[in-house]
Amino acid sequence: MGRIVVISTGGTIASRWQGSGFAADADGAEVMATAPLPEGVSVEVVDLFSVNSPRLTTAHQLTLLRTVHEVLADPGVDGVVVTHGTDTLEESAFLLDLHHHDARSVVFTGSQRPMGAADGDGPGNLYDALLTASKTRGLGVLITFAGRVHAARGTVKAQAVALDAFADPSKELLGKVGFGKVTVLRTPVRPEPLPLPAMPEAPEGPPRVDVVVHHVSGDAVLLNAAVAAGARGIVLVGTGAGNATPEVVDAVKAAVADGVMVALTTRVAAGPVTEIYTHGGAVDLVAAGAVPTGTLRAPQARVAVLAALLSEGDAEERGRVLRRVLASGGSVLVPA
């Protein structure tokens, strides 16, 4: 028997019609009742919270992180499935992956269509997630959706409403689910797991990390506003391979001098941030103190900055944590 714990957090997979639109409403037991169980799998449900995932806060995510660690403290548990809204699933999954030190799998899933829909995808996704959690080991935190298995790192919501919602635009597919089997195609390369962070106490709460996007006629106003609002971390979303303007470079340099951690990603769907251009490009931004994020896009780059800020040590050590997290983004193909 595979003993799987399902942690329910809401999302479309738990949503019902509310009169003007859909919203998370069902508890975990109701969600589980929609899906068949893989042969030999038993399930226990933890109702953690029930919200639409755009409403998630860092506090929600840290509660989820600690709950998964508490569940896996039981050696009788064979794996964990997290049902989650798709809008921010990639962020929660990556945060958990950065702190996941167990061989047992934690598998995120959800749906694009609400609970009870005649053509709903939730039951199939949940079945596949349970199967993946019971059959895989040593792959970190995973996302199972539409018959595909993705590594948490690098995976983004690539389709707003289509059923095959998730992909890593810069990497090969991790695996597939079908006919009662899970086929793993590659092994993700993951950094050394980070220690479990402490829960930030009120009134300060978790560190603020903002995202600023560059565009034609873009200036440093929003980046400076984020610093003025108390951001301890900023993700700058550049154009192309990670480019902006000399004015933005100056703002990044000033922010870093004030102790703000700045990461540099790109608004382009695939490919790494690369130091090619000057006159405000990635060459100058990195020289000003921005840390390039490789192929991580803004939501997960923000999670990397958050995790570094939550780690122990001084500013220099936290900077090393961020660079270590961002440097480990490769993969190993599994021979056919």
DSSP codes of every residue in 121-158: SHHHHHHHHHHHHHH-BSS-EEEEETTEEEESTT-EE-
Q: DSSP letters of 256-318?
A: HHTT-EEEEEESSSSS-------SSSHHHHHHTTPEE-TT--HHHHHHHHHHHHHSSS-HHHH
Mean confidence (pLDDT) of the chain: 95
pLDDT in tens, 223-280: 999 999 999 999 999 999 999 999 999 999 999 999 999 999 999 999 999 999 999 9
Q: What is the pTM of this model?
A: 0.96
pLDDT in tens, 34-59: 999 999 999 999 999 999 999 999 99
Q: How far apart are CA 209 and CA 146, in angstroms?
A: 32
Is residue 183 domain-shared with residue 245, that is, in the same domain? no
User: CA torsion angle for 6, 10, 15, 18 (degrees, to 10)?
Assistant: 150
pLDDT in tens, 104-162: 999 999 999 999 999 999 999 999 999 999 999 999 999 999 999 999 999 999 999 99
Is residue 168 domain-shared with residue 240, that is, in the same domain? no
Instruction: Answer with the one of 132, 156, 188 that is the final residue of a domain.
Output: 188
Q: Is 57 a catalytic residue?
A: no
pLDDT in tens, 12-33: 999 999 999 999 999 999 999 9
* Residue pair 111/122 in contact by the 8 Å Cβ criterion: yes
Q: DSSP letters of 6-46?
A: EEEEESGGGEEE-SSSEEE---HHHHHTTSPPPTTEEEEEE
Half-sphere exposure of 331 (CA within 13 A, CB side): 23
Is residue 174 domain-shared with residue 300, that is, in the same domain? no
* Nearest CA-CA partner of 105 in 116, 117, 97, 113: 97
In a domain, 196, yes or no: no
Question: Does the pLDDT of residue 329 top 90, yes or no?
Answer: no
Amino acid at 176: K
Is residue 103 domain-shared with residue 247, that is, in the same domain? no
Q: What pLDDT score does 249 carry?
A: 98
User: Considering its fold, how many domains does the chain have in total?
Assistant: 2
Q: What pLDDT score does 200 carry?
A: 87
CATH number at residue 214: 3.40.50.40
pLDDT confidence tier of residue 186, bands split at 50, 70 and 90: very high
Is residue 182 domain-shared with residue 250, that is, in the same domain? no
Domain of residue 255: give its range: 209-327
% of the chain residues with pLDDT over 70: 97
Is residue 272 domain-shared with residue 236, that is, in the same domain? yes
CATH number at residue 107: 3.40.50.1170
Q: Which two tokens stand for residue 199?
A: 């829960």
Is residue 50 domain-shared with residue 97, that is, in the same domain? yes
Is residue 75 domain-shared with residue 155, that is, in the same domain? yes
What are the backbone angles phi and psi of residue 319, rounded to the nearest 5°? -65, -40
Q: How far apart are CA 135 and CA 235, in angstroms?
A: 36
* Residue pair 266/249 in contact by the 8 Å Cβ criterion: no
In a domain, 92, yes or no: yes
Question: Does the pLDDT of residue 178 top 70, yes or no?
Answer: yes
Is residue 175 domain-shared with residue 258, that is, in the same domain? no
* Nearest CA-CA partner of 162 in 117, 224, 122, 113: 113
Q: How far apart are CA 76 and CA 92, in angstroms?
A: 25
User: Catalytic one among 12, 83, 88, 265?
Assistant: 12
